[in-house]
Structure 1
Amino acid sequence: MTHALTHALPDDVCPDYVCPDDGARADVRTAPWCCPVCAGPWDLDFAPQPPKAVELDSGPNSLWRYGSALPLPGAPAVTLGEGRTPLVPLTGRISAKLDFLMPTLSFKDRGAVMLAELARRLGPERVVADSSGNAGTSVAAYSARAGLACEVFVPEGTSEKKTEQMRAHGARVRVVPGGREAAARAARAAADEPGVFYASHVFNPYFLHGTKTYVYELWEELGGELPEALVVPVGNGTLLLGAALAARELARAGVRAPALIAVQARAMAPLARAFAAGEREPTGPVPDPVPTLAEGIAIPAPPRARQILAAVRESGGTFLTVSEERIRAAQRDLAARGLFVEPTGAACWAAVGPGAPGDPLAGRSAVVPLCGAGAKTGLAP
């Protein structure tokens, strides 16, 4: 499970991996892709201060403007101008951040650019990823930008539009019989081979430090403040955990942290059930995959489940679930407002937008992310 890639990163600029569960540590240059003690995902030993105004004034017009808060210092060689997506009002209290306007039409570019830049510095023979769609297209695009060979493992039934995009970027696409977990197992087997960098948006914490720029952008756009609530779709939790990272970092500078409102499809909601039951992590058998329009968050057993549940509780937030009918209606409602997103990207609007039962935000101001473009999937049937 080791990268065996030892030549590119200086000792003094690369924070160690650290396991959040057992405290095991590893050098990023030679680390296995998961903790060798518990086989869980890594975090980073990294606690930066938010960038100062003078840094933002002179920074690039991309997420790399927050470079002092990112764990890869120095000028990046890999970028497609990602980040700095528009923030537009939907109602008097709710705004939407249009992350479907990223280079590959998905918010996953925020994390993928970090993985590709790290991989470029490590110099692997090839990059391997697993994905149900958007993460794979992002890793394929940024690997191409970095000049790295890329292989993406996807479950059968993955959108042909997304696999076509991966191939267009030069990635080798491996279609794996079975669901999302089967694709992950196949990728992890390949990740154990010599000379491979596993660009896992779940296990590698550099991805989370990329997604946290979503919140840094809100902080900058809102004049040094954050909304009272962030509504976030949750499958593997990469956007939510990135948001929690940024909220903690900004809190050290006196910024009020928002409540995290996590949204899952009712058809596949292991985290929402665990939250309602007061559990630290989901217990019992892993549920069988159930088809849902929100395929991007249909994850039966998220490896970072314990961290996700803790982050929501610590923020004073909650979990909401949405039906397939609500997802369909939300996608159409957003399209009628000029915003065509894929069904997963409409899940948060389904949870808190018009027609949602009660007042799920309890009167708070909020931002919802529109994570993926509708052109990737089309209109939900």
Structure 2
Amino acid sequence: MEFVCNSCDHHHRGADAPWRCPRCGGAFDLRLEVDLRRQAIETGPPNLWRYAGALPPVPPEARVSLGEPVTPLVESTWAGVPVRFKLDYLFPTGSYKDRGNAVFVSVLRAAGVSAVVEDSSGNAGASLAAYCARAGIRCTIYAPADTSPAKLVQIRAYGAEVVAVPGSRAETARAVQVAAERTYYASHNWNPIFLHAMKTLAFEMCEQLGWRAPAAVVMPCGYGSVVLGAYLGFQDLVSAGLIDRLPRLVAVQAAACAPLYAAYRAEGRAPACSGHTLAEGIACAEPVRPERILEAIRASGGEVIAVSEDEILDGLRALAAQGLYVEPTSAVVAAAMSRLAGEGRLEPGTVAVLTGSGLKATEKLVRVLTTGTQVRF
């Protein structure tokens, strides 16, 4: 397993790599030997470790698990178009972040890491805290002070310390980097181990579809781990001959904080953003790998869509009407599909990834959906 800086090509071998390149401050990519064979996968365990041949290497005895399932791929329709929903909010801690942290924390445990810090708008922190509790690793989470209370309670319940940071998500990221000077920074945004664990999202989809690629995949996008992880996974599947093409990748941002959308439209570098959004999980002003995200989207023939707060609420209600109770961050994919359907561009066979449970944001949902004493869905 080799870490390679995507800016200056500096190399580091082993899981003890610094959180960013010590030479230029750039983000590391990961070079892995990938062995994806259909027979080995189909006879493997009924969880993400069935794809161990394409994941960062972890001895079986060091694996940290909370019983992660292969998440359901549910058939549905949207504006009359056949689509599927990938229910990644059904992981043990209620979000897709378990997909990355099950592997990431396993690598850290195997490497003998005893304490970590991380910054999070809630879901990543809750997930990391849970897996660290399971692994016996001390965990401190830096979170924006206005994070949904349910997420902060969940983090503390796992025994992690919470440091509430006044201000924006970007200010939280800057605060944790000071702590990272003395404690291992288990950043799901900077560390490529998390990204490569996210490849399992693509692997599962294609296996569930009989080793076919979906027409398109619609995903929430803040720092971009879902989009980049899926892209890396689909690339691995094409290279292994298990699928014959990349699906079109559609990244969705909230219009109130949409730096990647601005960069996609202008074909320039992602600018900082301002503004508050219900989709707190993707309120990211300074993505770590903006160029890589846009390269992945363009290579797949995909696009970036920005949706308004009203569209997010409409998407939330429409998903709930189908029995899918998600947090507002996940609802951006419904808003984007409605936009695509209205333009006649929603492709049959599209998969929409639902990343976080509505139970994560109860207080926020009551506030924005209540009129008088009635919750209006």
Q: TM-score, normalised by structure 2?
A: 0.92
Matches within 5 A, 1:1-381: 15-50=1-36, 52-75=37-60, 76-91=62-77, 92-193=81-182, 196-254=183-241, 255=243, 256-279=245-268, 281-283=269-271, 286-288=272-274, 290-353=275-338, 357-361=342-346, 363-378=347-362, 379=365, 380-381=368-369
Please state how far the C-alpha of 1:374 moved relative to its aligned partner. Answer: 0.2
Mean alpha-carbon deviation: is it higher for 322-331 or for 184-193? 184-193
Q: What letter matches 1:232 in structure 2?
A: M
Contact 2:94 2:356 in 1 (8 A): yes
Q: Tell me the matched-pair count.
A: 359
Q: Percent identity?
A: 45
> Is the alpha carbon distance of 1:354 and 1:16 closer, same or farther for their aligned partners in structure 2, counting shifts above 3 Å?
closer
For 1:10, the equivalent position in structure 2 comes to none
SS in 1 for 2:292: helix
Mean alpha-carbon deviation: is it higher for 59-68 or for 36-45? 36-45
Q: Which runs of 5+ in 2 are unaligned?
A: 370-377
Structure 1's consecutive aligned runs of 4 or more residues displaced over 4 angstroms after TM superposition are: none
CA distance in 2, matches of 1:163, 1:259: 35
Contact 1:49 1:250 in 2 (8 A): no
Q: TM-score, normalised by structure 1?
A: 0.91
Please state how far the C-alpha of 1:360 moved relative to its aligned partner. Answer: 3.6
Q: Which runs of 5+ in 1 are unaligned?
A: 1-14
Contact 1:234 1:240 in 2 (8 A): yes
Please state which structure has a larger fraction of its residues in strand.
Answer: 2
SS in 1 for 2:342: coil
Q: Deviations over 1:34-56 (max 9, x none)?
A: 01122122111125132x23222
For 1:5, the equivalent position in structure 2 comes to none
Q: Deviations over 1:264-316 (max 9, x none)?
A: 1111111111111122x225xx233x111111111111011111011101111
Aligned CA RMSD, in angstroms, stands at: 1.5
Q: What letter matches 1:156 in structure 2?
A: A
Contact 1:61 1:81 in 2 (8 A): no
CA distance in 2, matches of 1:74, 1:58: 19
Contact 2:15 2:108 in 1 (8 A): no
Contact 1:49 1:249 in 2 (8 A): no
CA distance in 2, matches of 1:47, 1:293: 40
SS in 2 for 1:93: strand
SS in 1 for 2:231: helix
SS in 2 for 1:151: strand
Please state how far the C-alpha of 1:209 moved relative to its aligned partner. Answer: 1.1
CA distance in 2, matches of 1:199, 1:354: 36
Q: What letter matches 2:14 in structure 1?
A: V
CA distance in 1, matches of 2:132, 2:345: 40
> Is the alpha carbon distance of 1:83 and 1:22 closer, same or farther for their aligned partners in structure 2, counting shifts above 3 Å?
farther
Q: Deviations over 1:147-199 (max 9, x none)?
A: 11110000110111001000100100111111111111121111110xx3211
CA distance in 2, matches of 1:354, 1:305: 24
